[in-house]
Structure formats: C-alpha cells, structure tokens
Structure 1
Amino acid sequence: MLSFLGAAGTVTGSRFAISTGAGVSLVDAGLYQGLAELRRRNWAAPDLDPHDVDAVVVTHAHLDHCGYLPRLVRDGFRGPIRCTPETAELVEIVLRDSAHLQEEDARIANEGGWSKHRPALPLYGLEDVERTLPLLQPLDFDRWFDLVPGTTASLSPAGHILGSSCALLDVDGRRVVFSGDLGRGSHPLLRSPGQRAEADLVVVESTYGDRRHPPPEPELLAGAIRRTVGRGGSVLIPAFAVDRTELVLIELHRLMTTGQIPRVPVHLDSPMALAALAVYRRAFETHSCQLRAGAPDLRTALDELRLRAVADAAGSIRLNRPGEPCIIVSASGMATGGRVVHHLAHQLPDPRNCVVLTGYQAAGTRGRQLLDGARQVKMHGRYVPVRAEIVDVPTFSVHADAEELLAWLTSAPAPDTVYVVHGEPDSSAALARRIDDELGWCAVVPRLGEHVRLD
C-alpha cells in the first residue's frame, strides 16, 4: 500500500509511506511551511505511529523533505535513514539550524508574550537532532539497498541541489519511483536529472506544474542593484541556504566581473549557508560527478567576490544598519525565519533599500506576501511597513517547470498511474490534466491521507 501522508494538496510537508506485510518504509519526512493551517499539521498526531516505521529514505536536504525527522525520532522512530552522502552532510546542517530557530522563536515568543501558547514550545530541539544524526546511513547513487524484507531501493541524481535524488523502490516486484524535487537542465552547477526509471507507479512533484519558467533576464537583478546603490540603499537577498545561496553568489560575481553592477561589499549572513557552502566547495575540490561540465568554479567566484562571512550574532545585528550601500544574502529564502527576518524588519521601511526574491514563495510565507504586494508584514508580534523596492527574479529557481516535468516523465515507458504531489492545488491539477490530455496516461492528484494499492 502507498499512503500520501504529506505534500498532497500543498507544496510542502513531503511524506509518503510504503506498507507491506513485512514492514513500513517512509520516503521523505518533511516539515509543512507557509500558511498557519499547514504549519499546525506539524504538531498533529501522525497518521503513522513512528514506532511502526522501519526505515526512511530522504530524497534531499531541503526542510520540506527532511525537517520532520527529529520529531519522528522524538516520537519513537529508531530505524535507518538512507540518503546520498551529500544529503547526509546537508541534512545535519539543516536540522541543527531548524532546531536552533525553533528554540529561539519559542524563547522570543515567550519573552514577548505574543504567542497564543503558554508557554510556546519548539516542535523539536537540538537534543532531538543529535539523536537523529546517528541514524543517517549514506549510500552512493545507483546502488540497491534493503529497506524491509521484500522492499529494496535505489537512488539516482535529481539535479535539484547537491546530493538530491529520485528514489526507486522495488516492492515485491512492483516498482514505484518518487521524483523528489527535480532540477532543471539549465542549473549552472549541477548536471540535469537523468532519465526516469521504468516503474509501475510514479509519484511526481508539481511545484511549477502549471507554468513554464520565463527566459533569463540578467538585467532584472543588475538593474535592481544599480538603482539601489545609486540611491544609497542596500540590497537584501533572502536566499535558501542550500544551493540558492551558491547560485546567487556566482551570479553576483559574474555581474561584477562584467561591470554590470558596481563592486560593493557582499555579506553572507547565515551560519547555515556558510556551512552548506563548505559542502559545495568540497564537491569542486573532489570533482564530484554531479557537477556540470564547464560549470563556473564556485571557489574562484568566492575568492574574487571577497565575500564577507558573518558568523556571529553581533555582526548580523550591525548589518541591520550597514551604513553604506552593500548586498546582504541571508536565509531563509521565503523569509519564514532566521536572520533575514531581522534584516527585513529594519530595511523594509526605508525606500532606498531593495529586497530581491530569488525563488518559489509558498502561500502564507512573508516572501509570498512581499511578492503579492503587501504594504505591511508581521514580524515578531508587530507590523512593519513595506516601503523598500521589491524585485522578483524567478530565473534562480532550480525546480523543473511543467515542460521539464513532462520531459522527465516521458523519458521512460508509461506507468500504470502517475500521482501528482508537492504542488499548490492549481499547479497539481494542471499537471495532472496535461499528463492525461497529452500523454493519455492515468494521472491522479491524491488526497491527504489517501491510501492506494501497489498491485
């Protein structure tokens, strides 16, 4: 039986279970993000008792795919967590940061008295993360491994972030492939996703299932930076700590090298992004097979940018009022937490400043509010006016669009059924319709909690 325990009808909270008479395997264990009604699901009693889960496969290290793991462990899971080596490295960074932010947010809420809960508590803490990390069991791509008796799995490159994978499960001879998050053929650093594995069932993401990515507009970012520096302001770039930060820094280096933007200080204010940057550096040093041939050398870009790494809280506080035109790259990418929220609180009211959005903004996040033109946003119990310039640069996205998803699907023979997940309702429905209309395949948008047979 295949059960849809998350990312059904929404773009976060990926969690899928494969149950047989021999045991239960979970593919991804992600956090819900965005709307309050979705975030509350993180606290709901799980549909599956964590004691009954035998093994977990993690497709990649983004929070909406791995962020629930410590809660799963806290509630009784003790089995192996299988993933690629780079995913294991990045999961450690992501989970520690997630726990720290949750503990910090709870502390601030309790001190400020603005939480509805008395006391406010984190979903999990650093102790839960430390109990989770020893369960990670890294495995190389294209190697079969056992999950439970009768169920084996293999991981193949997904090209989304370093270490990201598609998961193929063989369940007593029936094969199910999970796309995880699929990358793009135009990713500046990583190779394109490979051909889809032949399978009886396909579970495919649909983040951009209803649209095609626009053609690159290099002048969009360059123009925003020039305008901001010209009026004496600072550019704040909320960026996902894993992969997006690397791509932003490479593009800033290119724009400065070609003279399209002035050479102003570039600050990276995110301990998690700095740690992830080290993992990407090692990929270049070891000539990882995941890197695209001819990819720009990240190490060169960082050296020539003279990147100012901000590791301590005091340095981050100073950046709230930088005193000179500069570029600040900080996590999180959807402005849901972390140091970027403090920077937004100080910089949004000043019309000289600019905030550059660099990727998908889920419904209910501050990033989505800014994208939709909000005139004020709420942070830490108070509203902040939005007077800074807001610029969306969608070409930084490393999610496959509708055309790329269809190309991946059709790179192998037709399955019995395609299940469309990990998208907002309109996006998932649009992709399912195209699969049905254009390919003639059975395509379904499953309901949250729905169970389907594998045979």
Structure 2
Amino acid sequence: MVSTAERGPTGRGSADLRFLGAADTVTGSRYLIESGSQRVLVDCGLFQGLKVLRERNRAPFPVPPESIDAVVITHAHLDHTGYLPALVRDGFRGRIYATPATTQLAGVMLPDSGYLLEEEARHAASHRWSSHANPLPLYTAEDAERALTRFHPVDFDTTVAVAPGVQVSFTHAGHILGASGVHATVAGTSIHFTGDLGRSADPVMRAPAPLERSDVLVVESTYGDRAHSPVDPGSALEEVITRVTRKGGVVLIPAFAVGRTESVLLQLAKLRQAGRLPEVPIFLNSPMAIEVADIYHRHPEEHRLTAAEIDLMYSIATPVHSVDESKLLNLRGGPMIIISASGMLTGGRILHHIAAYGSDPRNAIVLTGYQAVGTRGSALLSGASSLRIFGRDVPIRAEVVSLDSLSAHADADEVMAWMSAVSEPPQSVYVTHGEPVAADALRARIKRELHWDVHVPEQLQRVHLPVRMTTGQVIS
C-alpha cells in the first residue's frame, strides 16, 4: 500500500481513500473514497474534545461539499453525523445513505444539535463569555432539518449503488440502534468500515455481524489499549446510589441520549424490580432520549429488549420536557437521581445540573462511558477540582465515579476476537477513531498477534487502494 501527498483525482480503474477525520483522535469520523471523478464520504462527524480539534469544525471542509456524490453513515452519534447540516448548507446536494433506524435517530438528534448550538451562542452573547463579539452557531436547527431531506434509508444486507462504480451495503455493528459497518466496493476493491463496533454480550444490543472478507479494513480503536472492567454495572450503580442518597445527595448520570441512557435505565429498572434500589425519584432530563423510546419499539430485530422491558425502563423515570422543569430540578435538592445528556459533558442540560450540584461533596457524578481528551468528562476523570461551564469556573467537590462496564464499544479483546474470526485476512488494516495511544496499542497488537499489514493513518493522509484482478490476485 502506497501513501501519497495530496494530488488530483485518481486514475481510471484505481481508487484512493482519504482520512479526513478520526485519524488522530476518537471523534470527527470522516473517510473519503475517490475513484475517477467520483467522491463518496463515509461518515460526516463533529470533532469534539480539545480546542485544536473543535476548531476543525469551523475550518472549510477539506474538499468542496458540492464535489461529493454521496454520503454513507455508519450510525447516528454526532461524532459520525454531526457535521451533516453544515455540509448540506455549504453545497452538498447528493443523497445521505443510512439504515432505517439511523435515519430515524438522525431525525431526532440533528435538529436537537442545531438547537443546542443556537442556545449556546445566544447564552454566550447575552452573558458575554465568548471571545467573539457576535458568537454564531456552527449550524442551526433549520440547517439540520434541511439535511434530513437528503437521507435515503437502506436496509441491512442490501447492496446499493451510491455513485457510479461505488456500491455499499450495511452490516449489523451492534453499539446502538441502526449502527452498521459499511462494506464498500470500488474499482474492484472491497473496503470495510467498522463504524463503532458493539459488544458481543451487550445487554441491550445484539452482537455485531461477523467480519466478511475485505481487501481493506478500517477499524475503530476507542478502547484499543484496554479491556472493560468486569464489575457488574448494576451492582456498581446500586452501591453508589445507595451511599449517596442515604446522605440526601444527588446522583448525576451524564449519558448519551441514544445508547447509554437506555443501558442505564435498564440497569435501574432491574434493580428496582429486585428491590435493590432506594425509593428515591429518578428524573430523565433528556427530551431526545424520551423520543427515542418509540424507535426501540419499531426495531425489535436489532436489540435484545422485549416491548415490556422497554416500557418498564422508561416508566421508572419521570420525564423532564421543558426548560422550566429542568431549572426546577436545580432547586429541588436530594435525594434524587438525574439522568441527562451529554455523556462527555460537552453541552446540554447536564451542565446546568453540574453547576448546581457539583460543588456539594454529598453528591456524585457517575460517568458511564468513554471520555474523549479535552472534554469536561475527561477532566473529571483526571481529578479536576473545577470545570469551566458557561464562562465561569465551577468547583467540583462531588464524588466522581466511572463505570466503563456500561460502555457500548467493544474493548481491545473483543475487537481482536471479532477480527481474528474472518476467513481470509485483509490486505491492509487502518486503525482509526481512537486517541493516539489507544490506536497505536491496537496496531501493535494486530501486528503481533495476527501478523497483518496494519497502519495508523495521519489526519488528511491519502492512501492508494489495492486493485483486485479478475483472477482474484490483488495488486497494490
């Protein structure tokens, strides 16, 4: 496999892959397939975390949006879809291909993202905590609604031509509703993008489909340098909730509105059924998570939950709809449990709750998943004594608890087991979507244990894809 510097379109009968995101970080998933004059973008996510990464969201897209023929989405989380409203606003006019559940989830998540960006800009302007005289959102809810009109749902395991000479199909990836691996064929070469790979024994989602034969594999490495804790998440939640609420404290659980919130609610429902949960009120302060319940009912084939379990999960928590209801929670005091987005404390109503309750040592903040470097969640894990929220420093004296056993991502052992079961190894593997240490750790392990040709690409790197001859021979 040959890497090259930036150049023009690929020659006829060949194809290139460009890493426009998730190449030196765990967010901003964006991969560009180029063949002749055709361009297909796989994922179109937001960069999150460190300011140097977030500034990429404001930079011009690396290729003109109008030059892209199609976008293919692995799943609905914002680090895979969150830049779509800006891409459409700035000139993309093609179709956005995704599974039906991903399409439905995007219909909830993207307008919510635009609304929150607008709210943040308004708050920054009115309270003058932005360095910009007139802070503007990256995009608006209206931009998001416009992007939704470009979506074209495609069922799992159905092959569709997304551009001349480029075919894709979606395979089950577990992780969250609609999450898929993308299997693309271009110029005689097959490429498999894992997206975010789920866990084989996840209590909510079904296991990922086996890896099919591919010439090139692009694999995520979120947990590429570690294994998940074997601690039972239900027992861990029971322990911290019991300890904190006995003191009259508040348990804050930041959780991604799609995926992690459902896992938390399932654990709490099981604890309550077993009589192991203190009789304290539970509030679900995430309008988006509330809307997602119906989508779980629509797609029983993708998860392990019965209709009764879904109803039970959502019945144990009092939904919080309005901003005024959310504000009242900050005056209520404990004991109580509040579940609210976002999972890495990058925005949303949870920040107001942290500002209200984070300084009280009777309270606890329970982190339930991966915390990208540069996020407030990562700062808490590192022992930060304060968090910068809405332009002011909020002291943190509450207990901080991390439960990575609730993660919906495969860990390093699970990724290795999934890859090693393939019937024929890929010619090349590219390790992406992880912090540098995690990505390199997984690279080294693939090399050592599987003896595959494996690389960690750099941001904006371009690689030539191998060409498979009619005899089955592959040349690079």
Which amino acid letter does the alignment assign opposite residue 177 of structure 1?
A: H
CA distance in 1: counterparts of 2:278 and 2:17, whole angstroms: 53
- Which residue of the partner structure matches residue 281 of structure 1? 297
1:43 aligned residue (36, 47, 58): 58
Aligned to 1:453: 464
Cα separation, 2, equivalents of 1:294 and 1:267: 23
Superposed CA offset, 1:159-186 (max 9, x none) = 0100000000010221000000000012
- Say whether 1:251 aligns with 2:267: yes
Whether contact under 8 Å (2:174, 2:208) holds in the other structure is yes
Task: Single out whichever of 120-129 and 55-64 deviates more from structure 2.
Answer: 120-129
- 2:367 and 2:400 in contact (8 A); partners too: yes
Matched residue SS, 2:331: coil
Cα deviations by residue, 1:198-249 (Å, 9 ceiling, x for unpaired): 1100000000001111103343211110111110111110000001111101
Contact 2:293 2:310 in 1 (8 A): no
Whether 1:402 and 2:412 are equivalent positions in the alignment is: yes
**5+ unaligned residues in a row in structure 2: which ranges?**
1-15, 467-476
Instruction: Kindly indicate whether residue 291 of structure 2 is the aligned counterpart of residue 267 of structure 1.
Output: no
2:302 pairs with 283, 287, 290, which one?
290
What's 1:4 paired with? 19
Query: Alignment partner for residue 358 of structure 1, among 355, 365, 368?
Result: 368
Separation of aligned partners in 2, 1:272 and 1:240: 10
Deviates more, 1:20-29 or 1:294-303: 294-303
Query: Does the C-alpha gap of structure 1 residues 437 and 295 become closer, same or farther in structure 2, counting only changes over 3 Å?
Result: farther
Matched, 1:120 2:135: yes
The residue aligned with 1:436 is 447
Among 349, 354, 377, the alignment partner of 2:359 is 349
Rounded to whole Å, the distance in 1 between the matches of 2:462 and 2:334 is 56
1:49-448 correspondence to structure 2 within 5 Å: 49-217=64-232, 218-283=234-299, 288-292=300-304, 297-303=309-315, 305=316, 307-412=317-422, 413-448=424-459
1:188·1:296 contact (CA, 8 Å) conserved in 2?
no
Whole-angstrom CA distance in 1 between matches of 2:306 and 2:292? 22
Relative to structure 1, is the Cα distance of residues 80 and 183 closer, same or farther in structure 2, using a 3 angstrom cutoff?
same
Structure 2 distance, partners of 1:23, 1:61, is 25
* Counterpart residue type for residue 340 of structure 1: I
C-alpha contact 2:283 2:319 (8 A) present in aligned 1: yes
Q: Deviations over 1:51-103 (max 9, x none)?
A: 10000000000000000000101110010000000000101111111101110
* Contact 1:188-1:295 at 8 Å conserved across structures: no
Provide the TM-score with structure 1 as the length reference. Answer: 0.97
CA contact (8 A) 1:269 1:339 kept: yes
SS of equivalent to 1:289: helix
Identical counterparts, % of pairs: 49
So what's the TM-score if we normalise by structure 2? Answer: 0.92
Question: Unaligned 5+ residue runs, structure 1?
Answer: none
CA displacement, residues 5-52 of structure 1 (integer Å, 9 cap, x when unaligned) = 000010000000000114100000000001111100001121111010
Separation in 2, partners of 1:441, 1:295: 43
Aligned mates of 2:413, 2:111 — CA distance in 1: 36
Shift of 1:410: 1.7
* Alpha-carbon distance, 1:302 to partner: 2.7
Structure 2 vs 1, CA of residues 230 and 377 (structure 1 numbering), >3 Å: closer, same or farther?
Answer: same
Question: Using the alignment, how far apart are the partners of 2:396 and 2:441 within structure 1?
Answer: 33
Inter-CA distance 296–374: structure 2 relative to 1 (3 Å threshold): farther
Please, which moves more after superposition, 49-58 or 113-122? 113-122
Deviation of residue 289 (structure 1)? 1.6
Partner of 1:24: 39
Rounded to whole Å, the distance in 2 between the matches of 1:293 and 1:39 is 36
Distance in 2 (alpha carbons) for counterparts of 1:242 and 1:354: 22
Residue 211 of structure 2 aligns to which amino acid in structure 1?
R
State whether residues 443 and 455 of structure 2, in contact with CA within 8 Å, keep that contact through their aligned partners in structure 1.
Answer: yes
2:133 partner letter = R
- How far apart are residue 294 of structure 1 and its match? 7.3
How far does residue 321 in structure 1 lie from its aligned partner after superposition?
Answer: 2.3
- Whichever residue aligns with residue 55 of structure 1, its letter is A
Residues 295 and 196 of structure 1: CA distance in aligned 2, closer, same or farther (over 3 Å): farther
SS of 1:44 mapped into structure 2 = coil
Q: SS of 1:152's equivalent?
A: strand
CA distance, structure 2, for counterparts of residue 437 and residue 296 of structure 1: 46
Secondary structure, aligned partner of 2:413: helix
1:15 to 30, 35, 57: 30
Deviation at 1:274, TM superposition (A): 1.1
- Quote the Cα distance in structure 1 between the aligned partners of 2:387 and 2:444: 36
With 209-218 and 245-254 compared, the bigger mean Cα shift is at: 209-218
For 1:396 and 1:296, how far apart are their aligned partners in 2? 22
Once the two structures are TM-superposed, the CA of residue 147 in structure 1 deviates from its matched residue by 1.3
State the distance in 2 between where 1:188 and 1:273 align: 18
| 2:250–2:364 CA contact under 8 A, matched in 1 | yes
Structure 1 residue 122: deviation in Å? 0.6
Q: Distance in 2 between matches of 1:279 and 1:289?
A: 12
For 2:197 and 2:246, locate their aligned partners in 1 and report how far apart those are by CA, in whole Å.
38
Offset of residue 407 of structure 1: 1.5
* Mapped contact 2:32–2:40 kept (Cα < 8 A): yes
1:189–1:295: 8 Å Cα contact kept in structure 2? no
How far does the alpha carbon of each residue in 1:266-301 deviate from its partner, in whole angstroms, 9 at most, with x for none? Answer: 110011111122212333xxxx22123879822133
Distance 2:36 2:442 in 1: 33
**Helix, strand or coil for the counterpart of 2:256?**
coil
